[in-house]
Structure 1
Amino acid sequence: MTDTAIPDGIKQGPGEVSPQAAIRTTVLLCAAAFMTMLDLFIVNVAFESIGETYSGASLAGLSWVLNAYIVVYAACLIPAGSLSDRYGRKQGFLVGLGLFTVASIGCAAAPTLEVLIVSRVAQAAGAAILTPASLGLILSVLPVSRRAGAVKIWATSSSFAGALGPVVGGLLAESSWRWAFLLNLPIGVIAYLMAVRLIPKGAPASHTRVPDAVGAVAIAVAIGALSLGLVRAEDWGWGSAQMLSTAVIVVGALAVLIHRVRTHPAPVVSPRLFRVPSFTVANVTTLIFTGAFGAVFLGVSLWLETAADYGPLRAGLALVPGPLAVPVFATLTQRWAKNVPPRFVVSAGLAIFALGSLLLATQGGAHYATDILPGWIVIGVGIGIAMPTLIGTATADLAPAEAATGSAVVNTARQAGYALGVAGLVAILGSQDRLHTGDTFQNGWIFVTALVLVSAATALRIRPQQSHRTEDE
């Protein structure tokens, strides 16, 4: 039986794949999105190895291997999703996947740190096109009965990327960190060929306006300039002309963004969304929380490879327990806390996260089993409890027509927070020479704890309308 054959009694809608091809299409779309997130976590473990390749590179310079990807991804996510809706999701998926794969080759072959960073920018652009297109295809080409399950698989892929990324990255970095990027080549080529064959050509495109490119650039400039100022603060000095210029750029970019949002017919972010209180508060909470997450993930990775002197593979394996706890406790929380108001679930999870980072701050030694592992597991438990409810609540009060755009804004907030958290940690840690003692990281753990406590407080202000009946006002 071929992929196009339809069993008796089952109808195939226009632009949909057949029920027989649905499983393969789901695997394809989720695997491609998973690959883009895997690269983010792989780089955390390969950080030290990359620094050894480019001798003389500072910690601030190396941080752009992470942040260049995150900043561009955050800025391009919303307009890329709109463009895929307008010109065709299959086309968007193929363009994004192709660009990501080719850019991965550029990363693997990069002769200098600057070339690596430029290649990471191209990777991020491909990932930003691919990610919303893959979700849009799940919602348009799979049979209706398969869509809900496929969306859940797609949504949890980042958790599994967080668990597998350190191990895969560590294993590959034992030979050379370049293999972490070359891994994308066979996967990308196979996925591209499968997509050409499996995804229907007739996947419908919408007639939405072309999104505001200037607004997207303003987001990238604001996040990028703020990150630059944080990571270079120690070298430049907080009161230097360079820092003042950076501050002016950040303020100017934000002013341009606000103006474009108010006046452009197709703004990069619709101002209507922020008139929904639960959406606004949830995004602020997400921004702060993911800042803490980005900082602690990089911080623990660096601690393992410097203070503990672990090799990449051993460091990758040591990172697994925290991310592994996330999907476990996410599943348990969704089952056990159905009738608990979302704000209490999120705030409790973030408080547990803060407890974990406080455990890191109070140890200060160089022994993984006693100084890092307990707090790292507690952090994973807290994230697992808080994150699914926080992300789900963010768009709960939006109209159905705004849900996709709202989700893109939430993802942008997540990536922006991650980038700023990484930059903040790098500013606190300073130079690489100071990383080889456990005491150096204590200020970083305190920084993480402060961020999480602030996010736990803002989470208490999240009150989606449908949950009001369960809360005493």
Structure 2
Amino acid sequence: MTQTAGDAVPAKTVAPPPESPEAGRHRKLVFLVVCAGFVMSSLDMMIVNVAFPALEEDFHGTTAAALSWTLNAYSIVFAAALVPAGRLADRSGRKGGFLLGLGLFTLASALCAASQGVPMLVAARVLQALGAAAMVPTSLGLLLATYPPERRAGAVRAWTAVGGVAAALAPIVGGALVNLDWRWIFLINLPFGIAALLVGRRVLPTAAQPERGPLPDLLGSVLIVIAVAAASLALIKAPEWGWSSARVLGCFALTVVGLAEFFRRSARHPNPVVAFSLLRVRSFSLANLTALVFNSCFGAMLFSFMLWCQNVWGYSALETGLALAPGTFLMPVMAMATGPLVKKLGAATVVMLGCALLAAGVLWWGIAAQSEPDYVAMLLPGALLTPVGTILGTTALVGLVTKDLPPASFATGSAVNMMVRQVGLVIGISVFIAVLGTPGPGAATLDAFRHAWFIAAGIGILALLVGLSLARRTEADAG
């Protein structure tokens, strides 16, 4: 999610003029405020993964399937609310939208920390997602409104880098906080959120003339929530309810009906969540389909890593975060290398390379899995391959999403891509839980994880095949 708008600001080669110290301080304060909101939302999207065993221990009798809604509910609501929240902020003012989202996110963080059971925690996570959906698109708009044209490219690159580093460090930061108490992964947001609110009220720019137009399709967003949640529930509960049970089939039927109604409304609504004109751009549709499958593999990979380290090998939360660190620290290097690789090989080829590395890392875990801890032989190769594949694939896909869109549609296209990636995370986690089931001790657990990792690797290979179609389309357009 951290790469959403890099394409919206053209690179400038002209040296920016000197600015007054007062103007420079003001811009730095705006940057810090919008980054505070962006960092909190980026961290909380990933940080809960590492807290799963601690939550299972605290909420006695809770299964991983039930706890998965602390992740899925956040991702589903964030995905569905992202585009409408951004458009509502355009109508009513980005400053007000950002501060409202920041306030809601901070309050919801306190409610998460105070949760006495899974239902309350999931409800608070839904509120967090609504706050994040209001913050993310408005943070970039406020940043662009603060900086002059010749300085915007650098500001956006810095904003993107900060969010990327936050997401990459989430497992390590989360592990350290969970070692204290899992509630600290939410309490840590309070001082930063309150400080950003107080400073933001004074320094954030106010738009002179908010945009007008029809209200966004809020019912369409509700339909996305219903459809994706029903599919996730069916996948997670299928091992318990039975794949052919009325409840599972009913959930899948609700998904189909919800999606059908969503696309019907999108074709007719004056301000839909997803404009059909964008879907008719072949490269946009193929890039988003690739992102959907790619992020499904990524979601399964990250979730499985946390479960394996803590539930099977008995690592602490901090040890789990550090186990992923070697690949995490490679991500900034690979992010810088992606640009030259894209120029040399083409964006679609780099996407396919990212898919292949991500799938290979997960496949290695499936092949090398063993009950006795052996980090170097089993986990380390995958912990190096999967983050490198993730950053290559994600970064290259961002450019392909907006490649053939008109400039006026860059922001909307990037927001739709963010939404698709979140849905992919939900699908990946749900599929992994469905395949893993509730294995018995010893060899049964090992076999269950192996099976689930092979399925996750298959999803990564499917992303590679979709990326191949994208590459062929890109070559055809170039020809």
Of the three residues 424, 432, 437, the one matched with 1:417 is 424
The residue matched to 1:56 in structure 2 has which SS?
A: coil
Partner of 2:275: 270
After TM superposition, give the deviation of residue 20 of structure 1 in Å.
3.3
* Equivalent-residue separation in structure 2 for 1:467 and 1:447 (angstroms): 30
After TM superposition, give the deviation of residue 201 of structure 1 in Å.
2.8
Partner of 1:285: 290
- 1:234-290 CA distances to partner (integer Å, 9 max, x unpaired)? 111001111121112111101110110111111111000011010000000000000
- 8 Å Cα contact 2:35/2:163 also seen in 1: no
Change in 2 beyond 3 A, CA 1:467/1:95: farther
After TM superposition, give the deviation of residue 162 of structure 1 in Å.
3.0
363-372 vs 432-441, which deviates more? 432-441
52-61 vs 339-348, which deviates more? 339-348
Change in 2 beyond 3 A, CA 1:94/1:432: farther
Partner of 1:447: 455
458-467 vs 174-183, which deviates more? 458-467
Partner of 1:394: 401
Partner of 1:462: 470
Change in 2 beyond 3 A, CA 1:271/1:437: same
Percent of aligned pairs sharing the same letter: 40
The one-letter amino acid of 2:360's match is L
* Equivalent-residue separation in structure 2 for 1:432 and 1:327 (angstroms): 37
- 8 Å Cα contact 1:278/1:463 also seen in 2: no
- 1:343-373 CA distances to partner (integer Å, 9 max, x unpaired)? 1111122112222122111101142221111
* Equivalent-residue separation in structure 2 for 1:465 and 1:292 (angstroms): 23
92-101 vs 439-448, which deviates more? 439-448
352-361 vs 211-220, which deviates more? 352-361
Change in 2 beyond 3 A, CA 1:364/1:432: same
Partner of 2:436: 429
State TM-score, norm by structure 2.
Answer: 0.91
The one-letter amino acid of 2:456's match is V
**Residues 222-261 of structure 1: pairs in structure 2 closer than 5 A:** 222-261=227-266
* Equivalent-residue separation in structure 2 for 1:158 and 1:432 (angstroms): 36
* Equivalent-residue separation in structure 2 for 1:359 and 1:70 (angstroms): 27
2:66 maps to 1:61: yes
* Equivalent-residue separation in structure 1 for 2:76 and 2:334 (angstroms): 29
* Equivalent-residue separation in structure 2 for 1:302 and 1:148 (angstroms): 39
Of the three residues 330, 333, 338, the one matched with 2:338 is 333
- 1:114-145 CA distances to partner (integer Å, 9 max, x unpaired)? 00000000000000111111011122222222
Unaligned runs of 5+ in 1: 1-8
Change in 2 beyond 3 A, CA 1:178/1:301: same
* Equivalent-residue separation in structure 1 for 2:85 and 2:100 (angstroms): 11
426-435 vs 259-268, which deviates more? 426-435
- 8 Å Cα contact 1:170/1:316 also seen in 2: yes
The residue matched to 1:173 in structure 2 has which SS?
A: helix
After TM superposition, give the deviation of residue 381 of structure 1 in Å.
1.6
After TM superposition, give the deviation of residue 324 of structure 1 in Å.
2.6
* Equivalent-residue separation in structure 1 for 2:427 and 2:326 (angstroms): 25
- 8 Å Cα contact 2:439/2:448 also seen in 1: no
The one-letter amino acid of 1:224's match is A
* Equivalent-residue separation in structure 2 for 1:279 and 1:337 (angstroms): 17
* Equivalent-residue separation in structure 2 for 1:324 and 1:11 (angstroms): 35
Change in 2 beyond 3 A, CA 1:203/1:294: farther
The one-letter amino acid of 2:377's match is T
Partner of 2:135: 130
Partner of 1:160: 165
Partner of 2:411: 404
2:121 maps to 1:116: yes
236-245 vs 314-323, which deviates more? 314-323
2:106 maps to 1:98: no
The residue matched to 2:470 in structure 1 has which SS?
A: coil
358-367 vs 43-52, which deviates more? 358-367
- 8 Å Cα contact 1:74/1:411 also seen in 2: yes
- 8 Å Cα contact 1:105/1:181 also seen in 2: yes
After TM superposition, give the deviation of residue 174 of structure 1 in Å.
1.1
Partner of 1:374: 381
Q: How many residues align?
A: 460
The residue matched to 1:205 in structure 2 has which SS?
A: coil
283-292 vs 236-245, which deviates more? 236-245
* Equivalent-residue separation in structure 1 for 2:325 and 2:251 (angstroms): 37
The one-letter amino acid of 1:418's match is L
The residue matched to 2:344 in structure 1 has which SS?
A: coil
* Equivalent-residue separation in structure 1 for 2:62 and 2:244 (angstroms): 24
The one-letter amino acid of 1:389's match is A
312-321 vs 46-55, which deviates more? 312-321
2:31 maps to 1:26: yes
Unaligned runs of 5+ in 2: 1-16
- 8 Å Cα contact 1:59/1:432 also seen in 2: no
Partner of 1:82: 87
